Structure 1
């Protein structure tokens, strides 16, 4: 619900390695880009009040909801769900459920956040399981990818639903009206992949989604930006995500060692510094911070727990974009069409 054009975001102020400082400073940064935003900070008021009071504009659009309880980073989701009802994370989620906020953003425990959000917000009609989605930098811009770890084992219905949700997310956040989307596979040929992938592909060819389904893509197509949306199960998606993060760290370390290897190399760095600054900005993971729990009856954004204020500001930006562009209404409409196709006996027979 947006009143008078303003959005209200619920922030789990105690979630993340650098909370609450990174959360408060991130909200202050986000306010510059999104001035019509208000914030509900959930956490320990004694920690939050001095930070917020230093920022005049942020102070004027913020409220603090005090709670002493915090979900630990290593807490099991089942334990957090039972014992964390008064935690900063759970109360922030409940604010979305109760219509007090348009979205929730947290840098806290991912498993706990998913469990609590699924319990409190429920899933949208036509969604069996929520999925974690985010976007990657590519040669062509950005590519949406899901699932990134929520569902290790998936059937064809799950993959089809992920494709629908990723398609809608791409249109809402990246502003691509007719995205291309594909299933991640061991080859791009139609005969490649197991039964689950083949069945999902057959169903997707019968869907009338915006854009076009192009079949299968391989792992190297992610960085190429071959398609706008890459769909896979949570096991494969999480491996791909961690591999990409590790590779980026590796090359960054290689570059640093190379430029420190000699006086001449150091001189080369001085000459290349403007270009290196541009490169760092292009691949800065903080610019792509903000994974979304798709399929929930509410907007929930997961910030990387180790990010700083700039990264958290970008996660807030993702939440704002989803709320501003009517993401949930668009997804409900898309999912209605999917339910009709999945229940069609002819489609089911063709997929087998």
Structure 2
């Protein structure tokens, strides 16, 4: 990295507490040795955790606050805490230019609300979207957005999500021209709502953008590897994500029960243990941790509340990578081309 950024960390977010957050950030720093951090939260607890990670302690500044956004706080309540909470101070550091990105494992709704109010959306973006990487059977993961930030979207929003998702895929998946598809109830051109069909018409004409729009994809193909970016509204995206997570848990629990049901099954488990380990690794959410609020004037990464240190490290890695590749600039460059390329008039804002 030619210029190492500083990342603001909400040390108090997450189900596992300060210890796991600090262990994860320390693990990330071993991968990005030049990174600097500002850690927001209870100073005494943070410093105790840093005693186990001298490499992180040497690269960090601690800013004390005893205010924390709780998992049960509504966004309106969290906004009132934004000036003094660990989450709010991390986002304010990005706004002030004191940090290039913020990472939090706290309340998703609160994080989204605070980030939108503090950082505002980029020119040309009506609404930010929550994007994440999901595992597939293909050669790489798939970027999916929106995963819950916007329950209702018009065609203009979906087109903007496609542009942002394409820029994100080029950054984190190293793809020159990611394959983009819209989530729909069928693959035929006449299927779906007016918003989805209008968005598809616009994207088909955007041939100069660094992406290949390949039409619609159905829910049963999310993990097929047939797309690099899948675009949908936040309602459908969140339902799809939770269904996928539930299915993964169902499959692993079912296999666990099957392999412990008899002596014969246990022998079968020993024989298939390497394959089971590979399956567990592929489905482990910590290996894909780090959802991003795209479309803001700053980088904000959401770590899963239940992430372990490996998951937290992955979220920090995502933030560092987005800063290295200047994701905001990439999105802005692509957005500048939409107006000239769209074959249909984009719906009014």
Same fold (TM over 0.5): yes
| 1:338 positional shift | 2.2
In structure 2, the residue matched to 1:348 is 345
Residues 52-74 of structure 1: CA distance to partner in whole angstroms, max 9, x if unpaired? 12211111111101011100111
In structure 2, the residue matched to 1:80 is 78
- Matches of 2:22 and 2:332 in 1, distance apart? 33
Gaps of 5+ in 1: none
In structure 2, the residue matched to 1:153 is 152
In structure 1, the residue matched to 2:63 is 65
What SS is found at the alignment partner of 1:9?
A: strand
Would you say 1:24 and 2:22 are equivalent positions? yes
What SS is found at the alignment partner of 1:182?
A: strand
- Matches of 2:262 and 2:54 in 1, distance apart? 48
- Matches of 1:194 and 1:211 in 2, distance apart? 23
Gaps of 5+ in 2: none
Contact 1:341 1:347 in 2 (8 A): no
What SS is found at the alignment partner of 1:153?
A: coil
- Matches of 2:52 and 2:27 in 1, distance apart? 13
What SS is found at the alignment partner of 1:223?
A: coil
Contact 1:202 1:350 in 2 (8 A): no
In structure 1, the residue matched to 2:125 is 127
| 1:112 positional shift | 0.5
In structure 2, the residue matched to 1:143 is 142
Contact 1:106 1:302 in 2 (8 A): yes
Residues 45 and 350 (structure 1 numbering): CA distance in 2 closer, same or farther, change over 3 Å? closer
Residues 339 and 16 (structure 1 numbering): CA distance in 2 closer, same or farther, change over 3 Å? farther
Contact 2:137 2:224 in 1 (8 A): yes
Structure 1 residues 231-270: aligned runs within 5 Å: 231-270=231-270
- Matches of 1:133 and 1:338 in 2, distance apart? 21
Contact 1:133 1:145 in 2 (8 A): yes
TM-score (norm 2): 0.96
What SS is found at the alignment partner of 1:304?
A: coil
What SS is found at the alignment partner of 2:76?
A: helix
Structure 1 residues 1-352: aligned runs within 5 Å: 5-140=3-138, 141-207=140-206, 208-341=208-341, 347-348=344-345
- Matches of 1:350 and 1:329 in 2, distance apart? 25
Q: Which runs of 4+ in 1 moved over 4 A?
A: 339-342
- Matches of 2:81 and 2:340 in 1, distance apart? 39
- Matches of 1:340 and 1:53 in 2, distance apart? 56
Contact 2:69 2:81 in 1 (8 A): no
